[in-house]
Chains A and B, each alone.
Chain A
Amino acid sequence: MSLGLREILNKHNGILSGTSACPGCPENMAMRMLGMGLGKDVVLVVVAGCSSVIQGNAPYNAYNFPTVNVAFAAGPATAAGLARAYKQRGKNVTVVVWAGDGGSADIGFASLSGAAERNDNILYLTVDNEAYMNSGGQRSGSTPFGAITTTTPEGKKENKKNLPLLMIAHNVPYVATASVGYPHDYIEKLKKAKQVEGFKYVHVLTPDPYGWLFDPSKTPEVAKLAVQTCYWPLFEYYNGKLSISSESLHCLDRRTRRPIRDFLSAQGRFKRLTEDQIKILEQYIDNVWEKLKSMLDNQ
């Protein structure tokens, strides 16, 4: 059952007023929706990143959850410890790790992989703004090919590390992608993840106005464009089965995809891309979709 707008607004709000987020911050949006999807009985583990700042200065906390902040690579293991403690004490708590793409794809990848392999009963969220935005916008393993960052002023030379597919390869019970441009889809996926026993992974695309170079009023629009142009596939992997979310179904056929240029031209970080480089990016997107299609065909 999907939620109507009125119903959503009555739900637990993940974020309180007075955050330290930048205008147009997609992580603020994603956190607000987290509350709508998961409700109460949630404990949040926040690893170093924008989200350690957005919650504001102690003794205040703009997140509407009990929150533990930890060092970069410590999120999944800290959550595993918390989950085991609640199990010992017979308490039903959803332990959520909230990490950026740097924390997930790079410095924290070993502990993420370890928790997935152990099938720890936690929900891991990657909020992906495709660079180390909290330290000023340096490239990460999750930065796409061609994007300008402060450490790749000439444009990144390597493709994006595909974390959702890597997590599927870990054979965990639940993996999903989402975009802050599609709140209903994201909230539904969170609701579902909460019901699953074991390791859950949700990867949310969170376009950053300051790092991606677009106007802060356009965050939801860019987040939608990423999905419409098939740059960011929305899917769900549950019980060993992949399903493409309705917002992304048109991407299965190359002819019905919206041109990638619509997504690229909505932001400044791709402005140095040449025609040849756009082809490389298109090739990457094609490859991702071919992989997804072959997974669909083989199940």
Chain B
Amino acid sequence: MIRKVISGNEAVALGVKLARVGVTGIYPITPQTTIIEKLAEMRAKGEIETEIVRVESEHSAMAATFGAALGGVRAFTATASQGLLYMHEMIWWVAGSRVPVVMVVGTRAVGAPWNIWNEHTDFTSERDSGWIMAFASNPQEALDLTLQAFRISEDERVFLPMMVGMDGFILSHTKTNVLIPDQEQVDDFLLPRRQPYVIDPEDPIGMGNIFPPEGYMRLRESIDLALRNSEDIIKEIGREYNKKINPLGDYSTLNVSYKLEDADYAIVLMGAWAGDAMEAVDTLREKGIKIGMLRIRYLRPWSEKEIRNALKDKRAVLVLDRSTSFGRGGGPLYVEVKSTISDIVPQIKGVVSGLGGVTVNKSELLYIFNKFVEGLKDDVIWYYPKEVGKIELRTPRDIE
């Protein structure tokens, strides 16, 4: 194992290398691009034997990855934003086919208007597609979760595709210290490729043709069951990962608690701003405010038990969303958390912020948390760190 200063995207590319991926369907989109560039570079240097298919669109990237997985090899792709939405059809097709595939999403806003910066809406909009969905909070976790994703999706009790999200630019392009395991360690952790079936002339089967209604519905139910049952398997594989690869990581739970045990107030969020939020929590703790944080690491499966346990005796819970669910008055996390704990927590508030690259650092989070502890009047607010003028709809380009 070595320690190296690398970006989130490099960490993912190294994960793909260490996982000995057979085929990668690649297409560039900001901020994911440097993952696939790194893979192409490693291939050119002969450092990996991965077959790279340089496709003409993200739809084809997912299709090529799907085809490769059906053909019996480990398959990977990466995307972001508009690209993820362009893949949407194939994302459902892959899950419906119950074939293990791994994808990393460098999260980013979705147009219109154009905005290349970070938010989680692209990622969260795939939450009903039948994929296992993890979200990293630093480059180390991006690498760790990528490696675990292959193991989880290829577990015969799961056999579902898995995507790993990481905040665009904030993680994808920022370099930090990352522990990189040795090939032997990864070989010991990752079992040889397993999948429910292989499309092969030796065993001629048909896949994906018309299913009668009841059969179709059964298949839908099997995806739901496999996803919900994957919770224990994720924890089991996480514990093995801690033991065999990263003793400093903590993957024995799906989600991560911070100073929650004795807390009266709890913050719930997902992704990179967890680091700043922990610092803000520390500052408030120094002032005697009993506050803690729950970081959602797995959006799917949604660990109802774990989340209820973590938040059960809190006076109030604040959910931070870096994504939108229009017309619902809150982000997807807010809606999920509310439906999970509304019977056991008297007050659940939501904040939507950080969209399209709006900077939310420790000081902004401190402001939000303070307001929350004082008692937010509204159930959900859209928080802007600085004064922003109204946008006239008739002339959307004129910002006061």
Q: Which residues of A are in contact with B by a Cβ distance under 8 Å?
A: 40-43, 45-46, 52-53, 55-61, 63-71, 73-89, 91, 93, 110-111, 113-114, 117-118, 120
Contacts and interface: CB of A to CB of B under 8 A. Distances in A.
A177 B346 CA distance: 71
Contact of A61 (B51, B68, B70, B209): B209
Contacts of A68: 67, 70, 199, 207-208
19 contacts: A46-B209, A53-B210, A58-B210, A65-B204, A66-B200, A70-B63, A70-B93, A73-B63, A78-B70, A81-B71, A82-B68, A83-B71, A84-B23, A84-B71, A85-B22, A85-B75, A91-B200, A93-B200, A114-B60
A40 B70 CA distance: 19
A89 B71 contact: yes
A177 B207 CA distance: 29
A77 B63 contact: yes
B326 interface: no
A111 B25 CA distance: 13
A65 B207 CA distance: 11
A58 B211 contact: yes
B40 to A, nearest CB: 14
B72 interface: yes
Contacts of A70: 63, 66, 93, 208
A14 to B, nearest CB: 12
B90 interface: yes
B71 A66 contact: no
A78 B64 contact: yes
Contact of A84 (B53, B203, B206): B53
Contact of B203 (A63, A66, A85): A66
B236 interface: no
A98 B202 CA distance: 20
A74 B54 contact: no
A199 to B, nearest CB: 13
Interface in B55-96: 55-57, 59-73, 75, 89-90, 93
B59 A74 contact: yes
Given A77-B61, A77-B64, A43 B201 contact: yes
A77 B59 contact: yes
B113 interface: no
Contacts of A83: 67, 71
A53 B211 CA distance: 10
B111 interface: no
Nearest to A73: B59
Interface string B85-127: 0000110010000000000000000000000000000000000
B210 A76 contact: no
A71 B57 CA distance: 15
Interface string B187-223: 0000000000001110111111111100100000000
Interface of B: 22-23, 25, 49, 51, 53-57, 59-73, 75, 89-90, 93, 199-201, 203-212, 215
Given A65-B204, A66-B205, 10 more contacts: A67-B206, A81-B66, A81-B69, A84-B22, A84-B64, A85-B75, A87-B51, A88-B51, A89-B73, A111-B57
Contacts, number: 170
B199 A81 contact: no
Contact of A66 (B23, B55, B201): B201
B297 to A, nearest CB: 30
Nearest to B210: A57
A81 B70 contact: yes
Contacts of A40: 201
A141 to B, nearest CB: 18
A66 B204 CA distance: 4
Given A71-B93, A110-B57, A117-B56, A85 B72 contact: yes
Contacts of B53: 77, 80-81, 84, 118, 120
A69 B70 CA distance: 11
A80 B208 contact: no
Nearest to A41: B201
A99 B177 CA distance: 49
B60 A67 contact: no
Contacts of B209: 46, 52, 55-58, 61, 67, 69
A13 to B, nearest CB: 13
B73 to A, nearest CB: 5
Interface hub of B59, B62, B199, B200 (most chain A Cβ within 10 A): B199
Interface hub of B67, B200, B215 (most chain A Cβ within 10 A): B67
A114 B71 contact: no
Q: Which 8 A-B pairs have the closest CB atoms?
A: A81-B67, A85-B71, A114-B56, A61-B206, A69-B208, A77-B60, A77-B63, A74-B63
Contacts of A56: 209-210
Interface hub of A66, A79, A117 (most chain B Cβ within 10 A): A66
B228 to A, nearest CB: 24
Interface hub of B63, B66, B69, B207 (most chain A Cβ within 10 A): B63
B54 to A, nearest CB: 7
B198 to A, nearest CB: 9
Given A81-B65, A85-B23, A118-B54, A57 B212 contact: yes
